[in-house]
Amino acid sequence: MAKVTAAAVKELRERTGAGMMDCKKALTEAGGDPQRALELLRKAGAAKAAKRVGRSATEGKIKVVAHGSRAAMVEVLSETDFVSRSEEFEAFANRLARALINGDGSGQAVKKGRDLADAAGGDAIAAALAALRVKVGENVQIGRGVAYQAEDGGALASYVHFSGGLGVLLEVSRGDQESLDVARSVAMHIAASDPQAVTPEDLDSEMVERERKFLAEQALEEGKPASIAEKIVTGRMRKFFEQHALTMQTYALDQDQTVGKVLAGAGLEVRRFARFEVGR
């Protein structure tokens, strides 16, 4: 049996990120063959990783990567904040976002989990995810992702909170420097205020109708006549739109203006946006 040297253990540990005792055990079982030991570690790691998959992953990071007129935003989840701040985790999140840029750029639907992995490279991404789980010793999961391509003279802007746990990607109608400055500020507003759509007309029709019905029933229960109830519902629906529609929200950076007025003053439109908050 070949002698297992400290140098061989150290080299295998550097290649795999596995513990020293695990590396020594694998080399011993492999008769000192580093390639065979590597395979043994991978199999053992895959088995351990499979057991971890069911564990809760509520921490993580939002990553935005841009290239030319395209950009992607992804969410990657982990069990602990410690792992989400590691270089290996960061590298995987970057790889996933870069791969998604070269995949589906329609941005009309947010992809999740396996669908996102497939859009970003399929088996290669799945293999990289499995390797990351082995290396960090946690259940790492792919959350959500979206890719945009700016069209018709438009441009992309983004904002990621310093914690890494909240990010926004949006497309606006122009790409000059002044417009991009406004767009980045609006991205910060979206991060803080969590609108559901750009305009009231863009809100989910079923959600709007449920709210309108609820408010109508509420007004009638308060004993208001039907003619008065209708006006009350109209007023309360406006407050609903001011809460959920981006253009009607009070601008977070200037409480005297709405986002719609800020955009109009800059001659700018927000075409679409996505907002990811880790675990939500």
Q: What is the pLDDT along the chain (280 residues), one digit of tens a residue?
A: 467 788 888 877 776 666 677 788 888 888 888 788 877 776 666 545 444 445 567 899 999 999 889 999 999 999 898 999 999 999 999 999 999 988 755 566 788 888 888 888 788 888 888 888 888 888 899 999 999 999 899 999 999 999 999 999 999 999 999 999 999 999 999 999 999 999 999 999 999 999 989 988 888 888 877 778 888 888 899 999 999 999 999 999 999 999 999 999 999 999 999 999 997 8
Between CA 18 and CA 136 the distance in angstroms is 9
Cα 123 from chain centre = 21
Instruction: State how far the alpha carbon of 138 is from the alpha carbons of 39, 50, 59, 97, 132, in Å.
Output: 20, 10, 11, 21, 9
- Give pLDDT, residue 168: 98
Q: Domains in the chain, start-ordered, CATH in brackets?
A: 6-52 (1.10.8.10), 55-149 (3.30.479.20), 204-244 (1.10.286.20)
Strand pairing partners for 156? Answer: 171
For residues 47 and 61, the answer to whether their CB atoms sit within 8 Å is: no
Share the mean pLDDT of the chain: 87
For residues 89 and 78, the answer to whether their CB atoms sit within 8 Å is: yes
Between CA 265 and CA 245 the distance in angstroms is 18
Share of the chain above pLDDT 90, in %: 52
Per-residue pLDDT of 219-239, as tens digits, reads 888 887 777 888 888 889 999
Instruction: State how far the alpha carbon of 205 is from the alpha carbons of 134, 197, 211, in Å.
Output: 45, 11, 10
- Give pLDDT, residue 29: 84
